[in-house]
Amino acid sequence: MQVVAVPGLPRIDSSSNLAQLIFEASIHWPDGTAGLTDGDIVVITSKVVSKAEGNVVASDNRDELIDSQSVRTLATKHHARGTTRIVQTHHGLVLAAAGIDASNVEAGTVVLLPQDPDASARRIRKELETLTGKQLAVVITDTMGRAWRNGLTDNAIGIAGLFALDDHTGKQDQFGRTLEMTVIAIADEIASAADLVKGKSFGIPVA
């Protein structure tokens, strides 16, 4: 498996055509090949998808904003820096502050999650497939904390052209025992793999 950053993307805003920019980027693989080919998976940080879709709003009232993006609050914690709320969004995602993000955006604004990340993934996939003539998959990611573990990892919040889960239940292991629980979240693992080559604070949002 080869994982590379898509270099040289400009700052993304609502005038950006993400698929076109990714298509024009100089993608070079360890095996010496270049560009996108059949079976490649393009992993895109949700923040730039939201920026390209114009899903950026004024950050005046953070609490109201979180409410507007949530269907319920699961946990609230008060701490030195303020209040953290773990909520469920209208997408069904459970995460801190409804995924509203104030980093790497213009002062005074925040980025919301894409309204329909699966639809965004399908649209970008279709555009990229038209541009490249290749069969591709697209994963849109967001960075999330985890219960009971320190640190954040990237997960898939929207996908097109691949399955989110690889279900091994019912298959047999090497000793003939039927697997009961083994459903691997491959889209999330792909999101995490891509995060290792992307640069959070350095503006590399696509791998």
- Give the binding site for a second copy (CB under 8 A): 1-4, 11, 29-32, 74, 81, 88, 94, 102-107, 143, 146-155, 164-165, 168, 171-175, 177, 179-186, 188-190, 192-193, 195-197, 200-203
Phi, psi dihedrals of residue 140, rounded to the nearest 5°:
-105, 130
Q: Which is nearer to a second copy, 16 or 153 (CB)?
A: 153
- Taking the complex as a whole, the smallest distance from the CB of residue 189 to a second copy amounts, in Å, to 4
- Taking the complex as a whole, the smallest distance from the CB of residue 13 to a second copy amounts, in Å, to 13
Q: Are 46 and 193 in contact (CB under 8 A)?
A: no
SS3 state of residue 165 = coil
Q: Which is nearer to a second copy, 130 or 172 (CB)?
A: 172
Q: Which is nearer to a second copy, 71 or 183 (CB)?
A: 183
What are the angstrom distances between the C-alpha of 186 and each of 123, 136, 149? 21, 16, 19
Q: Which is nearer to a second copy, 68 or 103 (CB)?
A: 103
Q: Which is nearer to a second copy, 28 or 134 (CB)?
A: 28
What number of residues does the chain have? 207
What residues are paired with 70 via a beta bridge?
Answer: 89
- Taking the complex as a whole, the smallest distance from the CB of residue 203 to a second copy amounts, in Å, to 5
SS3 state of residue 85 = strand
Q: Are 49 and 114 in contact (CB under 8 A)?
A: yes
Q: Which is nearer to a second copy, 25 or 193 (CB)?
A: 193
- Taking the complex as a whole, the smallest distance from the CB of residue 99 to a second copy amounts, in Å, to 12
Handedness of CA 35, 193, 164, 31 (dihedral sign): positive
Rounded CA separation 114/196 (Å): 23
- Taking the complex as a whole, the smallest distance from the CB of residue 130 to a second copy amounts, in Å, to 27
- Taking the complex as a whole, the smallest distance from the CB of residue 178 to a second copy amounts, in Å, to 9
Rounded CA separation 125/139 (Å): 9
